[in-house]
Amino acid sequence: MIVCSICHTNNHHLAVTCSSCGGYLQTRVDTLDLFSTAWRVIERPFKAFHTIAIARHKNYVLLLSALAGLAIVFTLFWAITAARYAESTLNILIAGFVVGPLFGIVLLLFLSILIVTIARVFGFHTRMKGTFAVVAYASIPWVFIGLFIFPVEVLTFGTYLFSNNPSPYTIKPLSFIVLLILHGTFALWNLLLLLVGIRVLCDASWQKAIAIWSISIAIICGIFYGTLQLLLVAR
Ligand SMILES: [Zn+2]
């Protein structure tokens, strides 16, 4: 809650103007600059997510979702050892670049709807637009994976990256473990940023933020797992 200094009305903690008298409660930025906002998400995530949630224009949200989608899709291709289903590595790369961006936007939009819905069950009112923006900026670690880690993985393992015959681990065990730890750390960082984002959006206690966060992630993981099982059975 944020209390209006003019009329003392209680307002939502992310409100910019008072619901009663229209007085200004907090200043907000008009537009989000991609690089400085991304840097603030790394440096001071609580402040950054607050700025993002109340910014007038949520710039770069679709771009970040699309880039994160690419990295997530290629990680899924690796997890299901996509080489079993594709003619060549080039086909896997083309499929990823075609499907990834839209997949990222749909996935992060769906995750935002989940968070808004589950937060409401817990009694927190969060806006869809602000939630989607926070979720997209929280996925910056996936953008790093896509830009820096994935190219190294492709260059290191070549056609064996998506294969289990032989697996990339068999080809270069040490490189595989190092890259897997890096990849996993960045993915984990995304999940932690998401938790911070939910706490900022809801102004909730850690316990309730963790509850909303874990239920949302469990539902997404359940859908992924179910879909993969269906795809594997279908073959
Ligand atoms: Zn007021």
pLDDT at 172: 93
Same structural domain, 111 and 20? no
126: CA distance to ligand 1 center in Å? 20
Cα(76) to ligand 1 centroid in Å equals 49
Domain co-membership, 149 together with 99: yes
Query: pTM here?
Result: 0.93
| Ligand 1 centroid from CA 18, angstroms | 5
- For ligand 1, the distance from its centroid to the CA atom of residue 231, given in whole angstroms, is 55
20 and 48, same structural domain?
no
Same domain? 11 vs 58: no
Residue 6 has pLDDT above 70, yes or no: yes
Q: What does the pLDDT read at residue 87?
A: 84
What's the confidence (pLDDT) of residue 64? Answer: 97
Alpha carbon of 235 to ligand 1 centroid (Å): 62
Looking at the structure, tell me whether residues 130 and 207 fall in a common domain: yes
Residue 232 confidence (pLDDT): 75
Distance 161 CA to ligand 1 centre (A): 59
Residue 179 scores a pLDDT above 70: yes
Domain holding 140, by residue range, is 32-234
The model's confidence at residue 71, banded by pLDDT at 50, 70 and 90, is very high
pLDDT of residue 235: 63
**Unique residue bearing structure tokens 């992060």:** 108
Q: Same domain, yes or no, for 152 and 85? A: yes
Question: How far, in Å, is the centroid of ligand 1 from the Cα of 190?
Answer: 37
Burial 42-78 (b: 16+ CB within 10 A, else e): eeebeebbbbbbbbeebbbbbebbbbbbbbbbbbbbb
Is residue 225 domain-shared with residue 206, that is, in the same domain?
yes
Asked whether residue 144 carries a pLDDT value surpassing 80, the answer given is yes
Q: State in Å: Cα 30 to ligand 1 middle.
A: 22
Mean pLDDT of 53-65: 96
Distance 26 CA to ligand 1 centre (A): 12
pLDDT for position 164: 85
1 and 61 both lie in a single domain:
no
